[in-house]
Amino acid sequence: MLKIIWPNEYLKYDFGKSHPFWVERGQAFLKKIAQEKKFSYQVLAPKKAKDEDILLVHSKNYLNRVKELALSKGNLSSDTPLNEKILQASYWYVGGTILALEEVLKGNTAMNLLGGLHHAGSDNSSGFCVFNDHAIAIKKLQKMRELSPHGKIWLHGRKVFILDIDVHAGNGTQEIFYQDSTVFTVSLHQDPRTLYPGIGFENETGASRGKGFNRNFVLAPGATGGQYLKKFHQALELIPKFKPDLLILIFGADTYKEDPLANINLELNDYFKIGHALKPFQPFAILCAGGYSKKVPEIWLKFLQGLLD
C-alpha cells in the first residue's frame, strides 16, 4: 500500500510569502488525493531526526553554522533564509525520509511530501535546502545491522540508486556520494549553463572508488515531453544494470511548462508517462523536491495515476 509521509510540522518550512517555495502544496495534494477516492493509501507521521543523524553527512561546522543562523534569523545563502521554525521543520523532513526508506524496505512505496533536498552538500548549502535528507537516511540505514520485520538486514553494505528528476542538478547529493560505489547517483536536469546550480555536466562521472557511479543527463532549455522521455528512459536503463537494493526517486515537479524557476516544457500527461515507466521498479521512495507552479499537487497526482493505475 502507498504510504504518504506528512506531519503538520512540515508547514513550518516556510520561507515567507514572496519566496517561491510553498510548503502548503503538501496539504493541497492530500485534499486532492482524498477526493480522488481511487488509491488506497495511509498517511504516516515520522519521528524527528536528531543531530547524530545529521552528522552522518554534514560537518559539525555546518551544523553549528545552521544553528547559529537559525537563532539570529540569518541567511544560509541569498535564496535560503533561516529561522528556528525552518530549522525544526528540517529535522522533521529528514525523519520523514528515514521513515520513507524504512517503508520501502518493508515492501511499500512511500512518498515523502517534503524531501529530496538535493542542493545541501556536506559543508554548505543553498537552493532552499537545509539538510540532505536522502543522503542522511541512506547513511543511517547502511549503518544499521538489526533485522527488519521481514528478517532482512536493513541496508548494511547494500546498494542504493538515486534517480533525480528535479529540473535542477542534484549537486549536493553528487558531492556527498561522488567517491562512493554503493550509491549510484543519476540526475536528469536542465543544462547547468542555463540554470542553478551551474554544475552537473555529463563528464562528471564520479571519482576514485565512485568512478562510473555518477551520471548527469542534460536537457536543453525548452525541451518538451518527447525529448525529455527519451533521456529519462536512458537513465532508467541504468537501474537494472546496477541491481540496487533500494531505489529513491527525487521527484521535482519543476520540469512543468508553467514552472516559474525553470525552462523545461512538460505537460501534465508527461507525468503520467513518467509514473507508468516506473511501475516495474516498485516499491521505491518518492521524495517530493522542487516544484513552484500552482499545478504541483495535480502533477503529483498524475504521476501516481501512471504509477498505480
Smallest separation (angstroms) from Zn ion to the CB of 166: 4
Rounded Cα distance between 23 and 204, Å, is 32
Nearer to Zn ion, 117 or 155 (CB): 117
Residue of 133, 166, 175, 259 interacting with Zn ion (CB under 5 A)? 166
Nearer to Zn ion, 5 or 250 (CB): 250
Are 172 and 118 in contact by the 8 Å Cβ rule? The answer is yes
Rounded Cα distance between 186 and 70, Å, is 32
- Cβ-proximal residues to 257 (8 Å cutoff; 6+ apart), any chain: 264, 265, 266, 267
Nearer to Zn ion, 264 or 301 (CB): 264
Asked if residue 259 binds Zn ion (CB under 5 A), the reply is no
Asked if residue 197 binds Zn ion (CB under 5 A), the reply is no
The stretch near Zn ion (CB under 5 A) out of 6-14, 46-54, 238-246, 282-290 is: 282-290
Smallest separation (angstroms) from Zn ion to the CB of 167: 5
Asked if residue 164 binds Zn ion (CB under 5 A), the reply is no
Active site residue: 58, 119, 134, 189, which one? 119
Nearer to Zn ion, 192 or 275 (CB): 192
Asked if residue 252 binds Zn ion (CB under 5 A), the reply is yes
Q: How many residues bind Zn ion (CB under 5 A)?
A: 5
- For residues 205 to 224, the per-residue mask of contacts with Zn ion, x marking binding by CB under 5 A and - elsewhere, is --------------------
* Residues paired with residue 248 on neighbouring β-strands, in sequence order: 162, 285
Smallest separation (angstroms) from Zn ion to the CB of 293: 12
Rounded Cα distance between 261 and 264, Å, is 10
Q: Is 119 a catalytic residue?
A: yes
Asked if residue 170 binds Zn ion (CB under 5 A), the reply is no
Are 146 and 174 in contact by the 8 Å Cβ rule? The answer is no
Which grid coordinates are listed for 177?
556520494
Q: Which one-letter amino acid corresponds to residue 300?
A: W
Smallest separation (angstroms) from Zn ion to the CB of 180: 23
Asked if residue 254 binds Zn ion (CB under 5 A), the reply is yes
Asked if residue 168 binds Zn ion (CB under 5 A), the reply is yes
Rounded Cα distance between 195 and 181, Å, is 28
Nearer to Zn ion, 141 or 176 (CB): 176
Nearer to Zn ion, 290 or 297 (CB): 290
- Cβ-proximal residues to 157 (8 Å cutoff; 6+ apart), any chain: 142, 182
Cell 537563532 locates to 71
Rounded Cα distance between 208 and 185, Å, is 15
* Cβ-proximal residue to Zn ion, closest one: 290
Q: What are the b/e assignments for 23-54, b being 16+ CB within 10 Å?
A: bebbeebbeebeeeeebebeebebebbeeebb
Residue of 290, 293, 297, 307 interacting with Zn ion (CB under 5 A)? 290
Smallest separation (angstroms) from Zn ion to the CB of 223: 15
Smallest separation (angstroms) from Zn ion to the CB of 263: 12
Rounded Cα distance between 112 and 250, Å, is 10
Rounded Cα distance between 170 and 61, Å, is 22
- State the catalytic residues: 119
Binding residues for Zn ion, per CB under 5 A?
Answer: 166, 168, 252, 254, 290
